[in-house]
Amino acid sequence: MATFKTTDGTEIFYKDWGSTDAQPIVFHHGWPLSGDDWDNQMLFFLSKGYRVIAHDRRGHGRSEQTDRGHNMDTYAADVAELVRHLDLKNAVHIGHSTGGGEAARYVARAEPGRVAKAALLGAITPLMLKTETNPDGIPLEVFDGLRAALASNRAQFFLDVPSGPFYGFNRDGAQVSEGLIQNWWRQGMMGSASAHYQCIAVFSETDQTEDLKAIDVPVLVLHGDDDQVVPIANSADKAIKLLKNGTQKTYAGLSHGFFATHPDEVNADLLAFIES
C-alpha cells in the first residue's frame, strides 16, 4: 500500500493513479468514509488523462487509527504534507462534505503554484452549527444525537445513514442501491470509532468563513437542494457569497451523496469546470 508519515508520525494511506506528468486532481472524502468514495470519479478522470489522487483522512479507512489531531487544521496540514510528498503543482482539489471543509482550509493556505482550482460538493462550509452569529444553523442537540448513535451501535448507525438521508433513499420513489449502502458501511467500519466520534465536532463546529474569503482560485460549488445532511441554505448558498471567484450549481431534488447517485451528470460538470 502507498503510505507516508506525517510530521507527527501518523501513517496516511493514499491512491495515486495516472501519469506524473498529467495535471493532478486531489479528492477529499466525507465523514466517515475513505478515498474509495471517489472510485467512480477517479476512474472517469483517469480516462480523461488526469493524474488522480485520493487519501484516507487520519483515523479513516486504511490510514492509521490515531486518536490525535482530529481538527480541521491538522486535516489540512496532512493534505499539505501529501502534496509536498508527491510534489503536486497546479492541482485541482475536489472535496465532499467534511472533505469540502478540508479542501477549503487547505486551498486557503496552500503554497503558491500548488492549486489551480477547487470544487466543493455538498460541503460543510462555512459553518453547520447553530450559534449566535449563525442562527439558522443546526442545533447542537442534533450532533449530540449522532455521537450517541455512533457510541451505542456504530455498525447499525452506519447502515441507517446511507439507507436513509445520505442518498435520499428515504424519499418516496427513490431508486435504492444496496451496493451504495453496503459500500458506505464497508468504508465506515474500516475506520476508527474514536476518529469518527471526534470528527463530528470537526465537521459541525468549524467556522470556515475566513477560509472561503481567503481563496483566490476559481471554485465550483455543487449541492443538491434536497440535501438532508448539509442543508443547502446554510452551506452552499452562504459559501458562494463569501468566495471571490465562485460558481454555484444546484441539483434539483438531489441528496447529499449526489455525486454517487448521479455520477454521469456530476462528472461532466466537473470536467467542464476543470477544462474551462
Single out the residue of 177, 186, 231, 153 nearest to residue 56, CA to CA.
Answer: 186
Exposure class string for 14-36: b at 16+ Cβ within 10 A, else e: bbbebeeeebbbbbbbbbbbbbb
| Per-position pLDDT tens, the chain of length 276 | 799 999 999 999 999 999 999 999 999 999 999 999 999 999 999 999 999 999 999 999 999 999 999 999 999 999 999 999 999 999 999 999 999 999 999 999 999 999 999 999 999 999 999 999 999 999 999 999 999 999 999 999 999 999 999 999 999 999 999 999 999 999 999 999 999 999 999 999 999 999 999 999 999 999 999 999 999 999 999 999 999 999 999 999 999 999 999 999 999 999 999 999
Determine what percent of the chain falls in helix, strand and coil, rounding each to the nearest 5.
Answer: 45, 15, 40
Looking at 29, 36, 78, 97, which residue is catalytic? 97
* All structural domains of the chain: 2-275 (3.40.50.1820)
**How far apart (Å, rounded) are the C-alpha atoms in residues 126 and 117?**
18
| CA neighbor of 72 nearest in space, from 98, 96, 107 | 98
User: What are residue 121's phi and psi, to 5 degrees?
Assistant: -110, 120
User: What is the spatial distance between Cα 36 and Cα 30, in angstroms, rounded to a whole number?
Assistant: 11
- Cα 161 to Cα 254: distance, rounded to the nearest angstrom: 16
Which cell numbers hold the place of 54? 485520493
Distance of CA 162 to the CA centre of its chain: 16
Options 29, 70, 96, 256, the catalytic residue:
256
Q: What whole-number distance in Å separates Cα of residue 13 and Cα of residue 1?
A: 7
Give how far the C-alpha of residue 83 lies from the chain's centroid of Cα atoms, to the nearest Å: 17
Q: Which three cell numbers stand for residue 140?
A: 447542537
**Grid cell in block for residue 96:** 465532499
Q: Is 97 a known active-site residue? A: yes
Considering the candidates 36, 78, 211, 227, report the single residue annotated as catalytic: 227
